[in-house]
Structure 1
Amino acid sequence: MMLDFHHSWPYERVASDIYFEECPFCHASPVLLPLKREAVERAFEAIKTPVVMPCCHERIVIETMDKDYIWADQTLR
């Protein structure tokens, strides 16, 4: 599956927490994503995983994750 870079957003991992340095919607910084370990594992397996941004309540459906980026079903950049 070919993913569009405009649908990606970098994240940081601190222990088991996933952070965005900046929200792609409201630009709040930093943003702790409300993802449980099981949700992260599903995202790494390319199982669609919804997440609601805690800062502005925008919804992202994660298509997949790699060690650097979250790839969504919508444009983030």
Structure 2
Amino acid sequence: MLDFHHSWPYERVANDFYFEECPFCHQSPVLLSIKKEAVAGAFEGIKVDLIMPCCHEKIVIETMDHDYIWAAQVLR
């Protein structure tokens, strides 16, 4: 089980996913460039790479739920 320090909240508006603030550069808000198929895989526990459009940092998503992404690295 992943620690809460490995989580980051996201918002979903229609088919778009947003971070209120980037965990790396703190830009706000950030539209995530993640495909619908990748989101479906992340909900099933399939690892997904996400490159932040603002600072180009990489997040390896371990899993997602309806409120948080859970990453391989510490985000908080």
Please state how far the C-alpha of 1:31 moved relative to its aligned partner.
0.4
Aligned-residue CA RMSD (Å)? 0.4
In 2, distance between residues paired with 1:42 and 1:16? 15
1:17 matches 2:16: yes
Matching residue of 1:56: 55
Please state how far the C-alpha of 1:20 moved relative to its aligned partner.
0.2
| Paired residues, number | 76
Aligned to 1:74, the other structure's residue is in SS state coil
After TM superposition, which residue ranges in structure 1, 4 or more long, deviate above 2 angstroms? none
Kindly, what percent of the aligned residue pairs are identical?
Answer: 78
| Unmatched segments (≥5 aa) in structure 1 | none
**Which TM-score applies when normalising by structure 1?**
0.97
| Unmatched segments (≥5 aa) in structure 2 | none
Aligned to 1:24, the other structure's residue is in SS state coil
